[in-house]
């Protein structure tokens, strides 16, 4: 799995595309709401692919009619945590799904996180791989 493209972190939907504009985010959120999914805003400074536990911004928004409400919260979240990764996810609670149906990044820090794959040789020449976050770029420059 490719974790970054150039210096961009790739995670969730649309991450190989150019960053979504606010208008595009609004349409995606409206799509989620019209399907009856609960929309969540989450943020983190640790975007390791195995870190599933991002922090939530407020409560899941499941009783909204219009995306403008979510965008209002997103603007507020960006104001406070603009230097972190923020993603929006849509949770489908209907029977048989009961899981996240969509998740995409809506904010990146100015300095993107970088990861590398470290190979280790274990007992019996077994090979193990670890995803390690590189130290911040300004340290290596």
Partner 1 sequence: MLDVPHATTTDQSETQFDLRKEAEAAGITDTLQQLDRELIGLKPVKNRVRQIASLLLIERIRQRAGLASAPPTLHMSFTGNPGTGKTTVALRMAKILHGLGFVRRGQVISVTRDDLVGQYIGHTAPKTKEILKKAMGGVLFIDEAYYLHRPDNERDYGQESIEILLQVMENQREDLVVILAGYGERMTSFFASNPGFRSRIAHHIEFPDYAEAELLVIAELMLKERGYRFSAAAREAFEKYIALRRTQPFFSNARSIRNAVDRIRLRQADRLVSDLNRMLDVADLETIDPADVLASRVFNGGAAAERSVKA
* Token couple for 132: 């390690």
Q: How far is the CB of 61 from partner 1 (least distance, A)?
A: 7
Please compute, for residue 120, the number of CA atoms within 13 A of its CA located in the half-sphere on the CB side.
Answer: 7
Q: How far is the CB of 74 from partner 1 (least distance, A)?
A: 11
Please compute, for residue 31, the number of CA atoms within 13 A of its CA located in the half-sphere on the CB side.
Answer: 12
Question: Interface residues for partner 1 in 59-78 (CB under 8 A)?
Answer: 61, 63-70, 72-73
Q: Which is nearer to partner 1, 15 or 30 (CB)?
A: 30
Whole-angstrom Cα distance, residue 79 to residue 104?
19
27 binds partner 1 (CB under 8 A): yes
Sites of contact with partner 1 (CB under 8 A): 27, 30-31, 34, 58, 61, 63-70, 72-73
């Amino acid at each position: 799995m490719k974790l970054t493209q150039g210096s961009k972190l790739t995670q969730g939907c649309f991450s190989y595309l150019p960053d979504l504009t606010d208008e595009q985010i609004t349409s995606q959120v409206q799509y989620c709401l019209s399907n009856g999914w609960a929309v969540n805003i989450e943020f983190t400074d640790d975007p390791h692919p195995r870190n599933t536990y991002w922090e939530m911004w407020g409560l899941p928004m499941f009783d909204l009619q219009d995306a403008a409400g979510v965008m209002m919260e997103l603007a507020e979240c960006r104001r406070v945590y603009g230097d972190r990764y923020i993603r929006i996810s849509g949770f489908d609670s209907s029977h048989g799904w009961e899981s996240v149906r969509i998740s995409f990044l809506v904010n990146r820090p100015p300095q993107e996180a970088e990861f590398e794959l470290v190979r280790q040789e274990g007992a019996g020449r077994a090979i193990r791989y670890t995803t390690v976050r590189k130290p911040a770029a300004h340290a290596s420059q």
